[in-house]
Amino acid sequence: MKTNNFSGPPPEHIAFIMDGNGRWAKKRGLPRTAGHKEGAKVLRRVIRDLDDIGVKYATFYAFSTENWKRSDDEVSALMKLLEDNLDDLVNYEKENIRLRFIGGRERLSEVLQKKMADAEKKSLDHTGMTVTLAINYGGRDDIVRAAKKASELVSEGFLKPDDLDEAAFEKLLQTEDIPPVDLMVRTGGELRISNFLIWQISYAELYFTDTLWCDFSKSDLMKAVDSFSSRNRRFGDAK
């Protein structure tokens, strides 16, 4: 049963920057990678909580184009976590979730690329929530890739430069088939966007919490959604 007790409708699309795994682990005297493992469990639970409150689209920043700068050990651990647990991380079969991925795949291992493609194919017709994992994703990279596609379409004669408006450009982004972000949540206390979905959050409400991702509970999620529901979204209008 859906448990939506908010003052307004829940956001259709929530994006999450899952920050603070390293600090969570450090506080417990554990390696950073233990924080990512715990973070993966929280991700799975948050997906269930989102479904419960009626959110239709959720996008998670799992690995950014900048995360390659981390130590080899940490990068390998994150990649292994994805390779070994992709099917488990998002319980898409049982929960009727349509799973998709954004980000450049060419730098990922063949094993991971294959698992991603299989999961997308298997879950394509699922009618529940759409969950998008951003892996090797950067907002600027997304825009540059779209600009390249646009220039190819123009040079091949499929697109006239005058027909390239915002709506047409949006369809060339990797998020082509999902609506713009309504609410972006960042855990872990930092107040920045870190190159996540920079086009897609143009009119999103932003919510920052000091809670570390591994401690992010259903009640923290409710607080974020409640805050969203109480805001007056004007989309540039004067009302």
Which residues are part of the catalytic machinery?
19, 67
User: Does residue 78 belong to the site contacting ligand FPP (CB under 6 A)?
Assistant: yes
Asked if 31 and 70 touch (Cβ cutoff 8 Å), the reply is no
Asked if 210 and 188 touch (Cβ cutoff 8 Å), the reply is yes
Nearest-approach distance from CB 174 to ligand FPP, in angstroms: 17
User: Does residue 102 belong to the site contacting ligand FPP (CB under 6 A)?
Assistant: no
Q: What is the DSSP string of 132-188?
A: EEEEEE-HHHHHHHHHHHHHHHHHTTS--GGG--HHHHHTTSTTTTSPPPSEEEE-S
Asked if 176 and 170 touch (Cβ cutoff 8 Å), the reply is yes
How far is Cα 182 from Cα 36, in angstroms, rounded to an integer?
26
How far is Cα 68 from Cα 142, in angstroms, rounded to an integer?
17
Q: CB neighbours of 199 closer than 8 A, spacing ≥ 6?
A: 139, 142, 143, 170, 173
14 SS3 class: strand
Among 10, 11, 39, 139, binds ligand FPP (CB under 6 A): 39
Our measurement of the distance from residue 75's CA atom to the centroid of its chain's CA atoms, rounded to an integer in Å, reads: 19
Nearest-approach distance from CB 168 to ligand FPP, in angstroms: 32
Q: Which of residues 177-216 bind ligand FPP (CB under 6 A)?
A: 188, 213
Nearest-approach distance from CB 173 to ligand FPP, in angstroms: 22
User: Does residue 221 belong to the site contacting ligand FPP (CB under 6 A)?
Assistant: no
User: Does residue 23 belong to the site contacting ligand FPP (CB under 6 A)?
Assistant: yes
Query: Which CB sits closer to ligand FPP, 24 or 228?
Result: 24
Nearest-approach distance from CB 84 to ligand FPP, in angstroms: 9
User: Does residue 82 belong to the site contacting ligand FPP (CB under 6 A)?
Assistant: yes
User: Does residue 103 belong to the site contacting ligand FPP (CB under 6 A)?
Assistant: no
Among 11, 14, 15, 19, binds ligand FPP (CB under 6 A): 19
| Interface ranges with ligand FPP (CB under 6 A) | 18-23, 32, 36, 39-40, 43, 62-63, 67, 78, 81-82, 188, 213
